[in-house]
Amino acid sequence: MNKRIGKQTVKLNMPPVIISTASIVGKKEGEGPLSGYFDRKIDKADFGAESWEKAESKFVSETVSLCLEKAGLKAGDIDYAFSGDLLNQCCGSTFGLRDFNIPYFGLFGACSTFGESLSLGAMAVDGGYAQKVVCNAGSHFCSAEKQFRFPLEMGTQRPPSSTWTVTGVGAAILAKKGDGPKITHITTGTIVDMGIKDANNMGAAMAPAAAKVIAAHFNDTHRKPDYYDVIATGDLGYIGRALLRRLLEAEGYLMGDNLTDCGIEIFDREKQDTHSGGSGCACSAVTYCGYYNTLLSHKKIKKLLLVPTGALMSTTTSQQGESIPGIAHAVSIEME
């Protein structure tokens, strides 16, 4: 049976159920507006580890363990793990999951990785290739700053357009049956490169990709913006969201108050000095697994379009003067 509708969208015939989520975040995230929705808040950025990278891996292992515990499952009950992060070769996920003995797909979609993880995990379950999968993504402020910008010890000044990499990991277990929100549609994004080279303005680099995949989702499904209670992009921040509105308007879609961004929701930019908002793989992952999954489960909202966004850059390409390609994936999550 053909499950594709339109050019970029898949309609899942047996929508997988999100039976469990877990979110563990750092101190700054735990002090933000969504504090009460996270499972654990870690006060020390090193998480008791010897390096920022090892701390990031510990966030992965602890979050996946908690997600399994909340579902009453063991690692052996999971058919696949779909996981990714921002570290070189996804080593945060690899070392975080190496002792679980779960068949593993390491993913990289930059900050859109949670959308990629949910998409591939849902297709595996709907396609009959798995009964249960775990999907997770994470990032760490300290390791990301060290890798992509400057070591923290330098005290480099951040411009107003910059965002704050979220420290944490969000994990979700998808299953064929159970109680919880269901993933009904997946619209996979295409790479969009508008020539942006400013690594301190991720919102501008990613907004065109977000606009393109949201418009594709509406075109393929014949849905309108008001079909969803919330349309949440991953980490465009304030600057990127403003650009997104203008780009979608040019496509004929006037967006209402239901359009938001996980990078806007997770921090209070005035009190926490996060400039344009939050970013990183963890931004959409922990915001969904902590906040939006709770709203869906309690039926405070029933229809969510989650659109994790990513800047497909690396330190090498930036040093070589390359532009920053953007990517975004749209995942429709609905509660009956």
CA angle, 138 as apex, 133 and 143 as ends, to 5°? 150
CB atoms within 10 A of CB 78: 24
Residue 154's pLDDT is what?
Answer: 55
Q: Which domains does the chain have, with CATH numbers?
A: 4-175 (3.40.47.40), 182-334 (3.40.47.40)
Radius of gyration, CA atoms only, the chain: 18
Q: Give the torsion sign (CA, 274, 325, 323, 136).
A: positive
Residues 308 and 235: their CA atoms lie apart, in Å, by 7
Q: Which residues pair with 20 in a beta bridge?
A: 173
What is the 8-class DSSP label of residue 109? B
Q: Is the pLDDT of residue 334 over 70?
A: yes
| pLDDT tens, position by position, 78-135 | 999 999 999 888 999 999 999 999 999 999 999 999 999 999 999 999 999 999 999 9
- Decide if 310 contacts 202 (C-beta within 8 A): no
pTM as predicted: 0.96
- Decide if 289 contacts 171 (C-beta within 8 A): yes
CB atoms within 10 A of CB 193: 15
Nearest to 140 by CA among 57, 205, 50: 57
Structure token digits, residue 165? 């990499």
| Residue 319: band (very low, low, confident or very high) from pLDDT cuts 50, 70, 90 | confident
Start-to-end CA span in the chain (Å): 24
Which amino acid is present at 147? Q
| pLDDT tens, position by position, 281-295 | 999 999 999 999 999
Largest CA distance in the chain: 57
Residue 31's pLDDT is what?
Answer: 97
Three-state secondary structure call for residue 67: helix
Checking 296-300 for CB contacts under 8 A at 24+ apart, the result is: 296/180, 296/181, 296/333, 296/335, 297/180, 297/181, 297/335, 299/335
Residues 62 and 51: their CA atoms lie apart, in Å, by 16
